[in-house]
Chains A and B, each alone.
Chain A
């Protein structure tokens, strides 16, 4: 007899997937958008991103060690770093450091660790952090620097975002829509906005990477984008003077970032494909409703947040198609 034989139940092999691989995959998918943000906002973007990641990882480490007193630290699984980058991506590049730290504390401390850490949080931590900051510091959170001021951090020239212009159009400013940058500029990311949300192209590259690596399935992002496109398109057709074109909706604000990285968060999205589509359609619908009829210019984060709350309900009612339910032939 060589060793004591190990006895366990089948399966005796594993596919080799791991939480780390998925999280690091998301980080890689975020790289293009990160590079664009450095290119557009320079120093400010770097400072904000680094601070946010460092703060998130630190809070995760400190809370696990000193409050929860767990032996195994979870910072190496990469989820805190993902939250840090996503939080930074949702902030303007001129935001003061202390606000970022507060955001990170809310994201990791309140939205994630109070519920038990990775896997237990009902709401996306980065979103919770962003929404907390948006409500608490509306001025700092809504003054967006004009791209191209690479060497400056807080002392930058700011401008209205395309979304704000779209809102003005709804409120009767007939000229607002004409001031919108062209769809192509919006697509590339040459417009004011939060760090990570500006370039639809870079974010779509990330989506392609994640789909290729099978980190996420297509259901959530595609259903969100399609719903926004159709819904905004219908309104645009009804009255092009007041309602912006569907392309403008798709390429502005946090829609791409939200649809690709925030709404697809494993923990807070539904488990079945059917549920994912319902979730995505509802997010797309709510986003446009808030953007056009609500008092905030951007509705993506609120839409995702609201649907996060509905995820358990969706999970209860949307069951996968069971084997054998398919009709004969």
Chain B
């Protein structure tokens, strides 16, 4: 069984909602659309207060090449364009829409039929994906059309589809693969056509045997698509780890990107969004969100419209339990703790995890005993203990030399540390500082 070659850990899987079919979440009363749901420049609003919008109406257009348009997921009136507290507690500009009815744009094909044939040219496909505001659905939210436009001198050799879902608890991609199998496969073949390759691999960890079986069975009808079962190991869903696991190539240290080794990596959720955008004319305005947690009454997978407040989804899953300590947007290894549950579902919201108070609190750190466990689990071959210490002391030159920018912030080091040291906190700080230093240096040149 294939897997990546360096490091890795195996957290308890806790896939509580794996057996729960995707439910359609209720429409919210008011939907909020932050303008910055993706990596890159914020989107620019094209509606103003009082405008009537339908489901699928473009409400903000891309603010640059690396940016993505935002579409309304509801029909109603624009209430205001104002700041909203986002998941990190900061205020960011957003469009507020009061919901009235559920009227869709006519251009969207709402029939459930599967459209296999793709009659567009690669350029048209990329343009359609761009127009639909599709971004990476795994959590990083990198605009998809940028990934499908290789920089000059690089050529894609294969498409790798990430169906790994290595984060504990999350089951959104798993359910999607079971329920939208053919759509994903069509999406993958569209992606292959877009980057002009004839080979695609779908990596799935073998803790999802049903998904592997179903995908492999259906994939036989699609030339060039191969389902690759992978050994369960975190962080296999990391782009670089997945490429290493499947085609045995390692992306060099930053600024190199996957396309440098000929791979274009996309999430299964993205493949599905691509299918809907290209074949059904449906822009990205809804996604599957796992709402889970040990103390939650009913862990579920929801098909939620963007802009729905997370609190509404939590209520639909049984409500926030009394002993809640922490609510995480995303999975437990890389997700961000929410400062408030009133934040809206965004393009990158793969899950909402409720952790009880006892498990939410960190254990007090003890001195480093130099057990070297962080070094052996680091999937990037770094020395987390060293990076953390040097960052804490502000030795930016040293941490840059020790390749801090290679860190993917997977959290394996801190997960495994017997002394409970908050290594990743410091490493993130160092990464931020060094990133700034590097940008300043490049700007000078």
Residues of A in contact with B (beta carbons under 8 Å apart): 2-3, 5-15, 17-19, 21-22, 77, 79, 116-120, 217, 266-273, 276, 319-326, 328-329
Asked if B334 lies at the interface with its beta carbon under 8 angstroms from chain A, I say yes
Q: Are the CB atoms of B326 and A7 closer together than 8 Å?
A: yes
B33-41, B179-187, B244-252 - interface stretch: B244-252
Residue of B nearest to A321 (CB): B381
B383 — which chain A residues lie within 8 A by C-beta? 271-272, 319-320
- Interface-central residue, B5, B248, B253, B328, by most chain A CB under 10 Å: B328
Task: Report the contact-size class of chain B (Cβ under 8 Å from the partner).
Answer: 35 or more
Q: How far is it, in angstroms, between the C-alpha of A266 and the C-alpha of B374 when the chains are bound?
A: 12
The dominant DSSP class at the B interface is loop
- Interface-central residue, B335, B368, B371, B403, by most chain A CB under 10 Å: B371
Asked if B411 lies at the interface with its beta carbon under 8 angstroms from chain A, I say yes
Asked if B141 lies at the interface with its beta carbon under 8 angstroms from chain A, I say no
Q: Are the CB atoms of B325 and A5 closer together than 8 Å?
A: yes
B334 CB to closest chain A CB (Å) equals 5
Q: Are the CB atoms of A120 and B367 closer together than 8 Å?
A: yes
19 more CB-based (< 8 A) A-B contacts, given A8-B362, A15-B415: A2-B323, A3-B323, A5-B340, A10-B337, A11-B334, A11-B424, A12-B360, A13-B12, A19-B419, A116-B367, A118-B369, A119-B419, A269-B370, A271-B370, A322-B403, A324-B252, A324-B256, A328-B249, A328-B261
Residue of A nearest to B336 (CB): A10
Q: How far is it, in angstroms, between the C-alpha of A323 and the C-alpha of B375 when the chains are bound?
A: 12
The dominant DSSP class at the A interface is loop
Q: Are the CB atoms of A323 and B418 closer together than 8 Å?
A: no
Residue of B nearest to A322 (CB): B381
Q: Are the CB atoms of B416 and A6 closer together than 8 Å?
A: no
Q: Are the CB atoms of A272 and B373 closer together than 8 Å?
A: no
Task: Tell me whether A17 and B417 are in contact in the complex, defined as CB-CB below 8 angstroms, given that A6-B361, A11-B411, A328-B261 are known contacts.
Answer: yes
Residues of B in contact with A (beta carbons under 8 Å apart): 5-6, 9, 11-12, 89, 168, 240, 244, 248-253, 256, 261, 320-328, 330, 332-341, 353, 355, 357, 359-363, 366-373, 375-376, 378-383, 385-386, 402-403, 406, 409, 411, 414-420, 422, 424-425, 428
Q: Are the CB atoms of B337 and A3 closer together than 8 Å?
A: no
- Interface-central residue, B253, B332, B381, by most chain A CB under 10 Å: B381
Residue of A nearest to B420 (CB): A14
| Cβ-neighbour of B418 out of A11, A18, A329 (below 8 A) | A18
Q: How far is it, in angstroms, between the C-alpha of A17 and the C-alpha of B416 when the chains are bound?
A: 7
A77 — which chain B residues lie within 8 A by C-beta? 366
Residue of B nearest to A217 (CB): B376
Q: Are the CB atoms of A12 and B418 closer together than 8 Å?
A: no
Task: Tell me whether A5 and B381 are in contact in the complex, defined as CB-CB below 8 angstroms, given that A272-B375, A324-B251 are known contacts.
Answer: no
A164 CB to closest chain B CB (Å) equals 35
Q: How far is it, in angstroms, between the C-alpha of A117 and the C-alpha of B367 when the chains are bound?
A: 9
Task: Tell me whether A18 and B414 are in contact in the complex, defined as CB-CB below 8 angstroms, given that A8-B326, A117-B367, A323-B380 are known contacts.
Answer: no
B406 — which chain A residues lie within 8 A by C-beta? 322-324
A95 CB to closest chain B CB (Å) equals 29
Q: How far is it, in angstroms, between the C-alpha of A79 and the C-alpha of B371 when the chains are bound?
A: 13
Q: Are the CB atoms of B379 and A10 closer together than 8 Å?
A: no
Q: Are the CB atoms of B362 and A119 closer together than 8 Å?
A: no
Q: How far is it, in angstroms, between the C-alpha of A322 and the C-alpha of B330 when the chains are bound?
A: 28
Q: How far is it, in angstroms, between the C-alpha of A213 and the C-alpha of B372 when the chains are bound?
A: 15
Task: Tell me whether A326 and B333 are in contact in the complex, defined as CB-CB below 8 angstroms, given that A266-B369, A266-B370, A320-B383 are known contacts.
Answer: no
Q: Are the CB atoms of B333 and A11 closer together than 8 Å?
A: yes
Q: How far is it, in angstroms, between the C-alpha of A114 and the C-alpha of B171 when the chains are bound?
A: 51
B416 — which chain A residues lie within 8 A by C-beta? 15, 17
A64 CB to closest chain B CB (Å) equals 12
| Cβ-neighbour of A10 out of B322, B341, B411 (below 8 A) | B411
Q: How far is it, in angstroms, between the C-alpha of A8 and the C-alpha of B88 when the chains are bound?
A: 10
Q: How far is it, in angstroms, between the C-alpha of A253 and the C-alpha of B407 when the chains are bound?
A: 45
B90 CB to closest chain A CB (Å) equals 12
Q: How far is it, in angstroms, between the C-alpha of A22 and the C-alpha of B366 when the chains are bound?
A: 13
Q: Are the CB atoms of A8 and B337 closer together than 8 Å?
A: yes
Q: How far is it, in angstroms, between the C-alpha of A320 and the C-alpha of B89 when the chains are bound?
A: 38
B244 — which chain A residues lie within 8 A by C-beta? 323
